[in-house]
Structure 1
Amino acid sequence: MDNALSWFSRLVTVRPWVTLLVLLLLTVALAAGAALREPPPDAAAALPDGSPITEEIAEIEERFGESGEVRVSTLLFRGEALTPDGLSQMDTLIDSIVMDPAVGGILAPTDPVFSPTLMIGAMLQVDSFDSVS
């Protein structure tokens, strides 16, 4: 074993181009085989037909299609948004968006909306910005 390791270390140090060539050929051979690899199955293919999870996955794909991932929306406010009037308007607008049945039905069940009004309201310990001056 010692002779094999000393021979290998001598080969690597005396002729490094041989080592690099072997590594290059090995990389090319493995990369050529990567195209022949079968893609991993998705989760729905591994589940039995008619299972509740399969039905839910089908319903999600039916409702959302290819856009079933998370979408982030940003609302931009002009002017003095951090004044009490601006915060009150922002809070009213966000509440009306969340309460809309077309929007509220597709929001995440826990904490779907984050806004500066939530953070500032928590710091001031108020539910409404009407009393803030």
Structure 2
Amino acid sequence: MTFADRLKTLIGEESVSGFARRVDISEALIRKYLKGSEPSFTKANQIAIRANCSLEWLATGCGYLYRHAEVVDQDALIAAYTAVTGQTPNDEKVTELVKMVSGYQFLRKHKKTDGYLDIEAMTTFLSIAKMERK
């Protein structure tokens, strides 16, 4: 499978223009990728993050199509928070919750060789993730 094939799979039945809006990349550029052009790492990562897709799968075809503990589905998080608390979280609270869940997911998958949680690595991960969202 080529990158274009994997992108077609990711888009599925969604319109190209709708997908382009969702991943915040121009429709013309998405169509260029669908015709065989290869994206830069930055653009591929942007597509993966916004489409909740594994960057490894999108780039190589290996691994899993959807991320397991790499991103937080904000719509699901907001719905869960609202169901539990009876309140809709404001933007500041959503950011706080996303960081908490991202940190939790990171710690679940990354432990030191002695088995202890790698808090320092999680802190680094969260600071890098914050920089990439800007």
Indicate the TM-score class for this superposition, using the shorter chain for normalisation.
under 0.3
Larger radius of gyration: 1
- Using the size of structure 1 for normalisation, the TM-score is 0.22
Q: Which has the higher helix share?
A: 2
